[in-house]
């Protein structure tokens, strides 16, 4: 594939872009400069650069409102750092045009300097990728440099953040497509606009790709909630087929679907598109471990994990951290002892890159459970079941729709709140119905988390 057909994205951890812009645009009487260290990931036509760190020069050779000269030694230090780190293979140079409010562009001087630097890198450190970003007061333009047959050329790139409120517009961002809210001639979202506001509904309905992993008792309700809330691009991942015992809780599945052992993703896709024919719902009857799932997760704006086993959660978290895709997990528990429900609860966990929490340090992943699903030796897997560390495959867990609905609603509320920012973020939200129903924030798990997590520690 040539560079020409590729889509370049520069992804930031939560608050990282706001911090960078805040620091570079604090003083509008001068241009400022920074270097970003990043890691490149090629997944088909999509090329993602995940920003690992920002480095700032301590002084400038010269500096004004429309001019900047950085000390050569600073750039040397940046390249030495980039070269010596296993988690970095890309350098971005970033500078500001504080004289410009929105209109973001690279000047002829920028073109010359950056083209020279692209050639220099190509000759001295060919393993390093190079890109650049310019910020005006309220916009940006970004590009990736490449040297092809002796000529330096550049390709536009877009920035992605964890939260919409950190987002900044770029003249290259023409992917907006149809505005499904303004063109909502049937009035499907009229009441939603009244509640959430036009701008928030536009953010939600246009260009947000949400992937639901697991479309069982919780995932199917989440899918229906997403369609009703206005999300228009939804991926469904689940290789399971329907059976009659699913019909007490899977939304969108019919008796006929279950009798015909239809794929869950196919039945639910059909049901969601019946509600909103303008929505694009993709059905992936695959395991989250399939290589083809990688692109689906990596290209998502959000992942919602509604699978019922530890191994798949572990795998999705791994991919989410690799590509900086924020995710929300939704899970329930019903414990029955001698015919009596002794626990009926569920929780929703919000994980964004840069927040320093994950399922691992919150102790939500059991390695015995993961081993039961993934260990290559069948004897070891069976041994874990026999020893009673985990339950066996095919064991039907108790499940009811009312509990699932509470948890699915909390998960979608958490997602919608990322756009509206109506409420403060709650990393772990618990619903419990043990004699007295309540929803509360689980602060104890946050306090007791493993402070030195290698998965989410940045
Ligand atoms: Zn410039
Ligand atoms: Zn962690």
Digit-coded pLDDT (tens) for 221-260: 999 999 999 999 999 999 999 999 999 999 999 999 999 9
Cβ(99)–Cβ(31) below 8 Å = no
Which tokens sit at 431? 């619903």
In a domain, residue 51? The reply is yes
Digit-coded pLDDT (tens) for 160-172 = 999 999 999 999 9
How are beta strands 46-55 and 7-11 bridged, if at all? Answer: parallel
Note whether 32 and 91 are same-domain residues. yes
Note whether 15 and 154 are same-domain residues. yes
Q: With H, G, I as helix, E, B as strand and everything else as coil, classify residue 95.
A: strand
Domain count, the chain: 2
Note whether 59 and 147 are same-domain residues. yes
Angle between helices 310-323 and 367-374 (to 10 degrees): 100
Ligand having the closest approach to the CA of 457: 2
Among residues 205, 374, 356, the alpha carbon closest in space to that of 287 is found at 374
Note whether 238 and 106 are same-domain residues. no
Note whether 91 and 234 are same-domain residues. no
Burial of 267 per CB tally in 10 Å (0-12, 13-18, 19+): buried
CA distances (Å), 218 to each of 209, 251, 408, 412, 417, in order?
19, 9, 6, 11, 19
Note whether 212 and 329 are same-domain residues. yes
Provide the CATH number for the domain around residue 154: 3.40.140.10
In a domain, residue 221? The reply is yes
In this structure, the dihedral spanned by the alpha carbons of residues 134, 417, 220 and 248, taken in order and rounded to 10 degrees, is: 170
Note whether 296 and 418 are same-domain residues. yes
Which tokens sit at 24? 């570079």
Predicted local confidence at residue 447, as pLDDT: 95
The 10 Å CB-count burial string (b at 16+, else e) for 388-398 is eebeeeeeeee
Query: Could you tell me how many residues make up the chain?
Result: 458
When the pLDDT of each residue in the chain is averaged and rounded to a whole number, the result is 93
Ligand having the closest approach to the CA of 320: 2
d(CA 66, CA 89): 30
Using the mean position of ligand 1's atoms as its centre, give its distance from the Cα of residue 96 in Å: 7
Digit-coded pLDDT (tens) for 170-218 = 999 876 567 888 887 778 888 888 899 989 999 998 889 999 999 999 9
Instruction: Provide the CA 113 distance to its chain's centre, in angstroms.
Output: 34
Predicted local confidence at residue 373, as pLDDT: 76
Using the mean position of ligand 2's atoms as its centre, give its distance from the Cα of residue 360 in Å: 5
In a domain, residue 200? The reply is no
Q: Which domain holds residue 413?
A: 208-447
In a domain, residue 434? The reply is yes
Note whether 128 and 216 are same-domain residues. no
Question: Does the reported pTM lie above 0.85?
Answer: yes
Predicted local confidence at residue 106, as pLDDT: 97
Digit-coded pLDDT (tens) for 259-279 = 999 999 999 999 999 999 999
* 66, pLDDT greater than 90: no
Predicted local confidence at residue 81, as pLDDT: 96
The 10 Å CB-count burial string (b at 16+, else e) for 37-49 is bbbbbeeeeebbb
Note whether 275 and 148 are same-domain residues. no
Using the mean position of ligand 2's atoms as its centre, give its distance from the Cα of residue 318 in Å: 11
Note whether 126 and 230 are same-domain residues. no
* 426, pLDDT greater than 50: yes
Range scoring the smallest mean pLDDT among 176-180, 279-283, 330-334, 442-446: 176-180
| Average pLDDT score over residue span 281-288 | 97
In the chain, % of residues over pLDDT 70: 96
Residue 2: pLDDT band (50, 70, 90) is low
Using the mean position of ligand 2's atoms as its centre, give its distance from the Cα of residue 414 in Å: 20
Range scoring the smallest mean pLDDT among 46-50, 111-115, 354-358, 392-396: 392-396
Using the mean position of ligand 1's atoms as its centre, give its distance from the Cα of residue 364 in Å: 47
* 3, pLDDT greater than 80: no
* 146, pLDDT greater than 90: yes
Using the mean position of ligand 1's atoms as its centre, give its distance from the Cα of residue 128 in Å: 22
How are beta strands 33-43 and 46-55 bridged, if at all? Answer: antiparallel
Among residues 76, 109, 91, 97, the alpha carbon closest in space to that of 32 is found at 97
| Average pLDDT score over residue span 34-40 | 98
Ligand having the closest approach to the CA of 446: 2
Provide the CATH number for the domain around residue 376: 3.40.50.720
Ligand having the closest approach to the CA of 64: 1
Q: Which of 166, 200, 225 is the last residue of a domain?
A: 166
Predicted local confidence at residue 339, as pLDDT: 87
* 1, pLDDT greater than 50: no
In a domain, residue 175? The reply is no
Instruction: Provide the CA 200 distance to its chain's centre, in angstroms.
Output: 19
């Amino acid at each position: 594939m040539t560079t020409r057909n590729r889509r370049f994205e520069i992804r930031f951890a939560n608050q990282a872009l706001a911090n960078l812009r805040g620091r570079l645009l604090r003083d509008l009487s001068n241009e400022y400069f920074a270097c970003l260290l990043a890691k490149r990931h090629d997944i088909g036509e999509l090329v993602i650069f995940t920003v690992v760190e920002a480095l700032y020069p301590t002084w400038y050779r010269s500096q004004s409102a429309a001019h900047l000269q950085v000390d050569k030694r600073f750039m040397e230090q940046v390249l030495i750092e980039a070269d010596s780190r296993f988690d970095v293979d890309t350098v971005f140079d970033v500078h500001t045009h504080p004289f410009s409010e929105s209109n973001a562009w690279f000047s002829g001087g920028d073109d010359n300097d950056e083209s020279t630097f692209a050639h220099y890198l190509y000759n001295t450190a060919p393993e390093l990728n190079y890109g650049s970003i310019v910020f005006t007061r309220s916009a940006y333009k970004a590009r990736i440099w490449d040297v092809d047959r002796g000529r330096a050329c550049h390709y536009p790139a877009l920035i992605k953040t964890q939260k919409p409120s950190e987002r900044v517009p770029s003249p290259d961002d023409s992917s907006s497509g149809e505005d499904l809210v303004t063109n909502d001639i049937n009035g499907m979202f009229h009441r939603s606009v009244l509640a959430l506001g036009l701008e928030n509904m536009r953010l939600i309905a246009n260009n947000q790709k949400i992937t639901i992993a697991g479309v069982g008792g919780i995932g199917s309700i989440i899918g229906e909630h997403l369609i009703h809330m206005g999300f228009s691009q939804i991926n469904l991942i689940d290789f399971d087929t329907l059976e009659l015992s699913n019909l007490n809780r899977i939304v969108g599945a019919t008796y006929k679907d279950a009798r015909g052992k239809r794929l869950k993703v196919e039945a639910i896709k059909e049901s969601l598109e019946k509600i909103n024919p303008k929505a694009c719902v993709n059905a992936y009857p695959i395991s989250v471990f399939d290589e083809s799932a990688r692109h689906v997760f990596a290209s998502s704006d959000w992942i919602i994990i509604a699978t019922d086993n530890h191994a798949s959660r572990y795998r999705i978290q791994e991919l989410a951290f690799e590509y900086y895709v924020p995710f929300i997990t939704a899970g329930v528990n019903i414990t029955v002892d001698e015919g009596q429900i002794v626990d009926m609860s569920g929780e929703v966990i919000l994980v964004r890159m840069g927040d320093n929490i994950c399922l691992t340090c919150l102790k939500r992943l059991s390695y015995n459970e993961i081993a039961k699903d993934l260990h290559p030796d069948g004897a070891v897997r069976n041994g874990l079941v026999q020893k009673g560390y985990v339950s066996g495959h095919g064991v039907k867990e108790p499940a009811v729709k009312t509990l699932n609905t509470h948890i699915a609603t909390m998960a979608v509320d958490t997602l919608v709140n990322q756009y509206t920012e109506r409420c403060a973020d709650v990393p772990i939200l618990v619903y419990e119905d043990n004699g007295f129903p309540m929803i509360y924030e689980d602060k104890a798990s946050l306090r007791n988390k493993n402070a030195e997590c290698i998965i989410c520690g940045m």
